[in-house]
Amino acid sequence: MTHAPNGAWFTSLPPCETLVPCGQGQHYVRWEAGELRLASHADPEAELVLAALGGEKARCVEIAEAWRRHAADLTVLSIGPRSPADEVAVTWDDVDTAAQATRGGGWGGFGPRMPRLASAPTAAMARAAIRHQQHQREAGEASQRRLDMLSLLALGTGFQLRLSGQVVAAYADRLDEPGEPGRTVRSVLTAALDGRLAPVAERWLGIDPDQVEVSLHRGAGWGSVELTGQGGQRRLRVSLPAWWLARVWASGLALTGHHLVVAVERAGWPDARVLALRAPGAEPVSLSAHAVSHASGAADAPHWEI
C-alpha cells in the first residue's frame, strides 16, 4: 500500500534539508523520497563500526540512527506537530543541554540509593539490587528515547511532518496488529487523525474542533464527512482511512483551495490530482492541485492551490 497505484505515500512531498551542528562544523541532513540522507557522510555504516570500536559518533549519524529507531514509533504522533502552524521549536542547544543532563545522571535521582553492604547480602538485598538495576536500565532507555525525540524535533517542522507520515505509513495497513506495549494501533491512529483533522475542519468550516468526531474508515471508498445538529449539538462526523494522515495531511494537502482533500488520486510534486469536498455531505470532486513556494521560500511545509 505504501506504493499504491498513485505512488508512494511521500510522492507529493518535496525534499527538505536542514543544517545540523556536527563535529566542528555544520552538515546538511536531507530528507528525500522517504529517506534520510547525510550529505556530508559518505559511509555512515563505516562510521557506526568505528563508533562501536570506541570512536566518536558523528551527530549526523546519531540522527540517522534515531530516525530509523523512530520511523515506526507511535509516540511520534502523540508528540509531533498537529499542523504546520504547530511549531515545535527545539534548538540544538536544547539537545546538548538535555544530553548533558542524561550523562549527568538526571535520571539517577529517581532510583533508590543502594546502601553500602556491611555484611553478606541477603536475598532481599539481592532482589533490591536487581530491581535497582532494572529501574536504572529502564530509566536509561526512556532517557535515550526522549533524547532521540528531541534531536528529531530539532530537525524542524518539515522533518517532523515527514516523520509523522512515515510512522503512519508503517501502521496504516496493520490496524489490527498489536502495537507497542501500552498502545493499540487503531486507538493511536484515531487520536492522531482527530488531533490533525480537527484544526483543519476549524479552518474549513469555522467549527469548534471539539465538535469534530473522527473514526478510521475501513474498506472501499474514501470515507464520509457529515455535518449534523445545530449550535452546541453541532457535530462534524468524519471517517477517513489512516492513509489520509500520510498521503494528504503530511503532504500539506488537507485544506486546499477551501476544499477538504479526502484522497490523493494521482500523487506528485508539484502537481497532484486530489479528491476534495467543497462542503460536508457533498460529493467529492476531482481537482488539480499545484504546489506553490512557501512564503519563506522553503518547501518544508508544502502549500498547495487549486
Partner 1 sequence: MNREGAETYLRLLAEAAMRRSLAPAAELRAPGASRVLVVGHALTVVGALDPVTAEEILTDLRLAETVRWLHREPAVQGVTAAEWLTQGRAGLRPKQAPVRSPGEGTPGEDADRGRADRFVPVGLTVPFRAGTVSGELCLMSFAQTGSGARFIAAWQVHSPSLEVQLSQHYPGLIPVDEFTVTDDRGARYQLDLSPGSDVAWPNPIRLSPAPPATIRWLDVAPPYRRAVRVDLGCGGRPPVGDTTRVGVCDTKLSPGEHLLVMLAERLLTGTPEFPRRGLLAAPPTSPRQVVAGGFGVIIAALEAAGVLSPLSPVPARLATLCASLDLTGHGIAAPPTLDLPEPWLSLLAHYQRRKPEPTQMREGHAALAASLPEVDGIRVTLLGLHHTQDGSALHVLVQGRIPEPRPGPLDIDLNFPLSLWLRDSGGRWHAARPDRCHQAGRERAVRLRLVPPLTRPAEWVEVLAGGRSAEVRATLPLCWMYPS
* Chain positions contacting partner 1, by CB under 8 A: 75, 78-79, 82, 86, 88-91, 93-95, 97-98, 100-102, 106-107, 110, 123-124, 127, 131, 143, 146-147, 149-150, 153, 181-184, 186-188, 190-191, 194-195, 198-199, 209-210
Residue with cell 487549486: 306
User: CB of 56: closest distance to partner 1 in angstroms?
Assistant: 22
Residue with cell 462534524: 236
Cis check: omega of the bond before 270, within 30 degrees of 0: yes
Nearer to partner 1, 97 or 133 (CB): 97
CA-CA-CA-CA dihedral for 167, 170, 172, 177, to nearest 10: -120
User: CB of 53: closest distance to partner 1 in angstroms?
Assistant: 28
Nearer to partner 1, 106 or 281 (CB): 106
Nearer to partner 1, 32 or 94 (CB): 94
Nearer to partner 1, 93 or 305 (CB): 93
Nearer to partner 1, 187 or 228 (CB): 187
Nearer to partner 1, 53 or 123 (CB): 123
Angle at the Cα of 86 (from 81 to 90), degrees rounded to 5?
Answer: 75
Say how far apart CA 14 and CA 30 lie, in whole Å: 11
**Chain centroid, CA 200 distance in Å:** 17
User: CB of 161: closest distance to partner 1 in angstroms?
Assistant: 15
Nearer to partner 1, 194 or 265 (CB): 194
Say how far apart CA 245 and CA 227 lie, in whole Å: 21
User: CB of 31: closest distance to partner 1 in angstroms?
Assistant: 21
Say how far apart CA 55 and CA 75 lie, in whole Å: 31
Q: Which of 158, 165, 167, 161 shows the shortest CA–CA distance to 19?
A: 158
User: CB of 86: closest distance to partner 1 in angstroms?
Assistant: 6
Count of other CB atoms within 10 angstroms of residue 92: 17
Are 227 and 252 within 8 A, CB to CB?
Answer: no
User: CB of 93: closest distance to partner 1 in angstroms?
Assistant: 8
Q: Compute φ and ψ for 236, nearest 5 degrees.
A: -105, 110
User: CB of 264: closest distance to partner 1 in angstroms?
Assistant: 24
Grid coordinates representing 92 are 540544538
